[in-house]
Amino acid sequence: MTLMPISSIDRRRFLIAGGAAALGLLAARPGLALSQADARALIGRVMGDVQRIINSGQPEAAMLREFEALFSRFGDVPTIARSALGPPARNASPAQLAAFTEAFRGYLARKYGRQFRRFAGASAQVTGARQIQRHWEVITTMTMRGEPPFEVRWHVSDMSGRNLFFNLIIEGVNLLAVERQEIGAMLERRRGNLDPMIQDLRRAG
C-alpha cells in the first residue's frame, strides 16, 4: 500500500462515520476519572518519547521497533484496532481479533513512525486541553525551523482502565477515520476475508 504524506490527504475523506463511531463507543461508557492534568501529563510523556526516538539517529528498523513499543505503552491499541476494523470486528473470532490487533499495532508503528520522522528537530509543547464527552482532547503544537507551527491533537481516555490515547489529529486529519477507511478498503479487496488481510497487514506500512 502506497503511503500518502499526511499533509496531502484529502480532508473530505474524514467526513465518514468511522471517527464518530469510535467516539460514540467511548461516550457510551460511564464516568470520567481522568483529570485534565493527567491527560496533559500523558501526552507530554508521549511527545517527549517521540522526539527522543526521531532525534536518536538510530537506523530506521530500530526506530520503528521503538515506535511500536510506544504505541503499546501509551496507546489503547485494542480500542483503536476494533474501531478501525468496524462492524467486521463483531463477527471475528477471538483469535482473529487478537491477530488483527497485533498486526495492526505493527502496521501503525511502521506507517506513522515513518511519518513522524519528518518532525526531526522540531520542538513540541502541550498548549491546552478540553473535555469532549467522556474523554480529553490534548492540544500540542509542533514547531519546525523555517515553517509555521502546526497542531497535533490527541484524544485521551481512561476507559480501558489506564490513561491512554486512542486517536490523534494532525493538521486537521483524523487518523482514526483514515485507518477505518483504509482497513475497510483492504478488507473489501479481499472479499471480506479477514485472515489474508491480517497476513498482508503484517507486511504493510
- Helix, strand or coil, per DSSP, at residue 153: strand
Q: What is the pLDDT of residue 32?
A: 61
Res. 181 pLDDT band, cuts 50 70 90: very high
Backbone phi, psi, residue 6, to 5°: -55, -40
Q: Is the pLDDT of residue 1 over 80?
A: no
Average pLDDT over residues 165-180: 92
The CATH class given to the 17-201 domain equals alpha beta
Strands 173-174 and 123-132: unpaired
Q: Is the pLDDT of residue 79 over 80?
A: yes
Asked if 108 contacts 80 with a C-beta cutoff of 8 angstroms, the reply is yes
Interval 80-108: pLDDT, tens: 999 999 999 999 999 999 999 999 999 99
The whole-model pTM stands at 0.79
How open is the CA angle 138-73-185, to the nearest 5 degrees? 75
Distance in angstroms (rounded) separating the CA atoms of residues 141 and 160: 27
- Percent above pLDDT 90 for the chain: 63
Q: What does each C-alpha distance from 56 to 5, 121, 122, 123, 172 come to in angstroms? A: 22, 10, 13, 14, 28
Distance in angstroms (rounded) separating the CA atoms of residues 173 and 186: 20
Mean pLDDT of the chain: 84
Q: What is the DSSP letter of 124?
A: E
Q: Is the pLDDT of residue 5 over 80?
A: no
Asked if 18 contacts 86 with a C-beta cutoff of 8 angstroms, the reply is yes
Q: What is the pLDDT of residue 11?
A: 35
Interval 15-74: pLDDT, tens: 333 444 444 444 444 446 899 999 999 999 999 998 899 889 899 999 999 999 999 999
Distance in angstroms (rounded) separating the CA atoms of residues 198 and 100: 6
Asked if 28 contacts 157 with a C-beta cutoff of 8 angstroms, the reply is no
Asked if 63 contacts 161 with a C-beta cutoff of 8 angstroms, the reply is no
The count of other CB atoms within 10 Å of the CB of residue 192 is 10
Q: What is the pLDDT of residue 147?
A: 85
